[in-house]
Amino acid sequence: MAFVTRQFMRSMSSSSTASALAKKIIVKHVTVIGGGLMGAGIAQVAAATGHTVVLVDQTEDILAKSKKGIEESLRKVAKKKFAENPKAGDEFVEKTLSSIVTSTDAASVVHSTDLVVEAIVENLKVKNELFKRLDKFAAEHTVFASNTSSLQITSIANATTRQDRFAGLHFFNPVPLMKLVEVIKTPMTSQKTFESLVDFSKALGKHPVSCKDTPGFIVNRLLVPYLLEAIRLYERGDASKEDIDTAMKLGTGYPMGPFELLDYVGLDTTKFIIDGWHEIDVKNPLYQPSPCLNKLVAENKFGKKTGEGFYKYK
């Protein structure tokens, strides 16, 4: 009798595991909100790995620019990946592009999607308004994810009625090249949702890591204070920005120094992140504002994208 009971329990356990796995969402259809660098990159890697993608932004002009950028990026990938077979490369590009359609009306396309990935401006109010609206039109099974790098995922999820189907999915720029994805699980995110997003990340050829909904997640929580400390070294006159960059590249093997990276990321972006964290924890010395950073941003010197930041660019 004990043997039969054990066998029954094993069978039930196996059945429960199989049932749980069966309930995981297999993402096939993806809607990406935001046609900027991050959104276009996410759309590209999703389409290139067999997913159908709808890329959404406010105007057709933005979307046309996004699609052109995706094609140019794909051709670079194809040239390297199919160096010995240019025809196969052309087919790869055309097939990937054919998997991406565009729209200016997010509400009209989310009804049939498995996953919505938001990659719009880092503004909590704007994100909340977007997700609150989409929540009314998306299918019950649809998972929502934000690509935010600095805002609390829980605060965004609370604008919806699907907190259990909401998580962070933080990609890194440039998306087609960077392997890492941070999968952020809030206290309300279901295990099914979390595992579905981990599987989706792997399907994209990425390496997912898990983190709780803490400011900056893993990478930015470590990176941004490092960047700010480099600025403080420079502000105090302890070392020149050139020597700090050289020291970190040659001394640690980093591909870019902190000032080069700041200019690449965008000084406005870094300031936005640190200001947000400072509001949350005013006394934390790691989050104290930088006069030098504030001055450059006030002068619209954001880095590479404006032609000048800590360095000048032609």
Q: Is 37 annotated as a binding residue?
A: yes
CB atoms under 10 Å from CB of 236, counted, come to 8
Q: Which residues are catalytic?
A: 149, 170, 182, 220
Pairing status of strand 115-118 against strand 100-103: unpaired
The angle at the Cα of 304, spanning 302 to 306, to the nearest 5 degrees, equals: 55
Q: Is 38 annotated as a binding residue?
A: yes
Q: Is 271 annotated as a binding residue?
A: no
Burial of 150 (0-12, 13-18, 19+ CB in 10 A): buried
Q: Is 19 annotated as a binding residue?
A: no
Q: Is 13 annotated as a binding residue?
A: no
Q: Is 179 annotated as a binding residue?
A: no
Q: Is 122 annotated as a binding residue?
A: yes
Q: Is 279 annotated as a binding residue?
A: no
Q: Is 98 annotated as a binding residue?
A: no
Q: Is 127 annotated as a binding residue?
A: yes
Q: Is 294 annotated as a binding residue?
A: no
Annotated binding site for CoA: 73, 80, 149
Annotated binding site: 34-39, 57, 73, 80, 122, 127, 149, 173, 305
Annotated binding site for NAD(+): 34-39, 57, 122, 127, 149, 173, 305
